[in-house]
Amino acid sequence: MRTYGRLIQMPDEASLVEAVRHLRGLGYSRMETFAPWSVEALAPRRAGRGIAPSMLAAGLLGGIGTMALQYLSAHAYPIDAGGRPLASWPAFVPAALEVTILFAVIAGVVAFFAGSRPALYRPEFNVEWFEEASRDGFLLLIHADDPYWNEHRSAHDAQRLHPLRHAEVPA
């Protein structure tokens, strides 16, 4: 039977933070935490990174592209409407603004899904007490693909954290 990792339940937020720091100090690098609310000290370092720059770039590309397209269209197909100039910039702004917002939102959604790994099924869901993470549980998962992972050593390290309980998560 393959092992996905080891799930550890800590009694409170502070002990969860301390457990993560302790395990990082030992050399573990592939861990996940689950808590009923966001634990600021454990905020993922890379979550959200890249979303804002990609939204800005896509928005600027969409807005500038739309303005350029309207300008070129006005000169390629000139319409003399009461002696107004061909390139009527105030008329171009609403369409450019809407395309800017559309491109930025699409880029943000794509960057979000590219940066995170949404999954409908994860092996830790099979652990009977995993659902406590959404109520009052502070859980820590050490992945078995961690370079420091050793089945016996990881179980021993988990036991030394004095958790409420811990269990192996089958793959």
- Between 104 and 146, whose confidence is greater? 104
What is the residue whose two structure tokens read 């350029």? 68
pTM value is 0.63
Strands (E), the chain: 3-10, 31-34, 138-143, 165-170
Looking at every residue in the chain, the average pLDDT score rounds to 88
In the prediction, which pLDDT does 105 show?
97
Collect all residues with Cβ–Cβ distance below 8 Å to 37 and sequence separation of at least 6: none
In the prediction, which pLDDT does 86 show?
85
Does the pLDDT value for residue 47 go beyond 60? no
In the prediction, which pLDDT does 132 show?
83
In the prediction, which pLDDT does 80 show?
83
pLDDT confidence tier of residue 71, bands split at 50, 70 and 90: very high
Arithmetic mean of pLDDT, 28-40: 87
Report pLDDT digits (tens) over 114-159. 877 777 888 988 888 888 888 888 999 999 998 888 888 888 888 8
Cβ neighbourhood burial of 112 (10 Å; 0-12, 13-18, 19+): middle
Which of 111, 137, 161 is CA-nearest to residue 39? 137
In whole angstroms, what separates CA 9 from the centre of its chain? Answer: 23
In the prediction, which pLDDT does 137 show?
86
Q: Token pair of 123, please?
A: 């092996």
